[in-house]
């Protein structure tokens, strides 16, 4: 199911509480109960989902993509969640994303053993 689109200015102003309302509305739109979401995400207690949808808890950063999938959002909605619920991590991600090509290029030109090993493992895990 496709979600409503957000303008950049809307995302910049979105609060955790408002994002919780978006999650609530999306869950209802796809016909899931909080119990359905809880089960699909592997949580034992639906109170956590309730707290997230009420804006009282944040989605754990390592589970953002799982929430995006279960709630039926487009994959890029993960960036909205990160921007609103984990602003520092989001900003670090954006900064790092612009530096990754240089980091990999430098590692290829003059790799030391540790960097070379990390780079090889990363390439391997990405199937490159």
Query: Which are the contacts of 91, defined by CB distance < 8 A and separation ≥ 6?
Result: none
pLDDT tens digits, residue range 18-67?
A: 999 999 999 999 999 999 999 999 999 999 999 999 999 999 999 999 99
Q: Which domains does the chain have, with CATH numbers?
A: 8-85 (1.10.260.40), 90-125 (no CATH)
Report the distance separating Cα 95 and Cα 35, nearest Å.
Answer: 37
| Mean pLDDT, the chain, integer | 84
Q: Residue 116: which region, alpha, beta or left (left: phi > 0; alpha: psi -120 to 50)?
A: alpha
pTM: 0.72
Using DSSP, state whether 32 is helix, strand or coil: coil
């Amino acid at each position: 199911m496709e979600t409503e689109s957000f303008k950049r200015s809307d995302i910049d102003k979105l609060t955790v509480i408002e994002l919780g309302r978006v999650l609530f509305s999306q869950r209802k739109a796809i016909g899931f109960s909080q119990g359905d979401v809880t089960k699909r995400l592997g949580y034992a207690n639906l109170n956590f989902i309730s707290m997230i949808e009420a804006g009282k808890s944040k989605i754990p950063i390592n589970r953002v993509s799982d929430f995006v999938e279960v709630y039926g959002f487009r994959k890029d909605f993960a960036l909205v969640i990160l921007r609103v619920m984990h602003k520092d991590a989001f900003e670090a991600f954006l900064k790092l994303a612009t530096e990754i090509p240089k980091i990999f290029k430098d590692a290829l030109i003059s790799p030391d053993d540790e960097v070379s090993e990390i780079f090889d493992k990363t390439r391997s895990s990405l199937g490159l």
